[in-house]
Structure 1
Amino acid sequence: MFGGFGGTEFLVIILIAIFLWGPDKLPKALANLRRFISKARNMASNAAADLSREIGTDIRPEDLNPKTFVRKHILTEEDQEMLTSPLKSTMRDLQDGTKPLKEGLTDTTRDIESTRRSVNRGSITRKANGTNGANGSADAAAEPAAAERRDRAATFDDVT
């Protein structure tokens, strides 16, 4: 809601403020807080303007972070590219290497979902027919999954 504060936290802060200053002095305390924040912002912007004038470049408060300052004022674009290109190529290689694993997991998940659906359809059919699965209906519903496992095992044996 307000800078990472949720509704509950904001309500707790308001209640604490009411207990500390009381309902009659709270508006004056909030006005003083608003003036303090305004003065602090003006001081920060004036300091940034003075620093920009002294250095001779446009500096914003977020540029005062040491990493940003070095990146912006010391490194050239070629230097920055030279530093980041090995990481980018490593990331690309890692993504290319894990793509078959990801595709295999996706296929396995899809197969599991189709098996689960076929088993669920078989149990719904058994319930509709009034059977409880003791007469072999469960075996008939599980047969496609078993056949698929046999096919996969044969494929695996052919590869190895």
Structure 2
Amino acid sequence: MFGGLGGTEFLVIILIAIFLWGPDKLPKALANLRRFISKARNMASNAAADLSREIGTDIKPEDLNPKTFVRKHILTEEDQEMLTSPLKSTMRDLQDGTKPLKEGLNDATREVETTRRSVNRGSITKKANGTDGTAEIEPAAEPAAERRDRAATFDDVT
């Protein structure tokens, strides 16, 4: 609503101001605040104009941040590229080195998700095959009333 303030925040600020200064002095306090903000803006623009005149380039108030000022007015593009290229190559190497780990984690996550889905479909019983020692997993037969009761009492925790 007002520079990132919502309606409730603005209302709280107004109520606090009324509580602190009272309804009689509040208009005068707001006028003083407006004058202070206006003077601060004028001082900042005058300082930027003086600095621009001294350096010989056009400087905006947001350029007064030291990082922005150095990057914009002192470093050339070649200097900036020279400083950032080792970091970019290191970042690429890091991403390439961690790619197999990321793929392994994604595969494991898919397997866990598949297992979770099969478990959530119903209770599981193992039925031994007997010939080669393997086991098959089948959902257990469950009456509809028990499924409804179980679904009503247990929530999916994931």
Q: Which has the higher helix share?
A: 1
Runs of 4+ in 1 over 6 A off after TM superposition: 3-8, 124-133, 135-139, 141-144, 146-160
Q: Secondary structure at the match of 1:125?
A: strand
Write out per-residue CA displacement over residues 13-34 of structure 1, whole angstroms, 9 at most, x where no aligned residue: 4333212210122122112211
Change (3 A) 1:149 1:106: farther
Write out per-residue CA displacement over residues 66-102 of structure 1, whole angstroms, 9 at most, x where no aligned residue: 2222222221111110111000000000011111111
C-alpha deviation, 1:54, in angstroms: 2.2
Q: Distance in 1 between matches of 2:55 and 2:20?
A: 45
Change (3 A) 1:126 1:64: same
Q: Distance in 2 between matches of 1:124 and 1:157?
A: 18
Q: Distance in 2 between matches of 1:147 and 1:93?
A: 57
- The question of whether the paired residues in 1 share the 8 Å contact of 2:49 and 2:59 is answered with yes
Change (3 A) 1:157 1:30: closer
Change (3 A) 1:56 1:142: farther
Which stretch has the larger CA shift, 25-34 or 99-108? 25-34
Query: What residue number does 1:140 align with?
Result: 139
TM-score w.r.t. length of structure 1 = 0.69
Q: CA RMSD in A?
A: 12.1
Q: Distance in 2 between matches of 1:82 and 1:2?
A: 43
TM-score w.r.t. length of structure 2 = 0.70
- The question of whether the paired residues in 1 share the 8 Å contact of 2:128 and 2:136 is answered with no
Write out per-residue CA displacement over residues 104-143 of structure 1, whole angstroms, 9 at most, x where no aligned residue: 111111111111111111339999999999x999776799
List alignment gaps of at least 5 residues for structure 1.
Answer: none
Which stretch has the larger CA shift, 3-12 or 108-117? 3-12
- How many matched pairs? 158
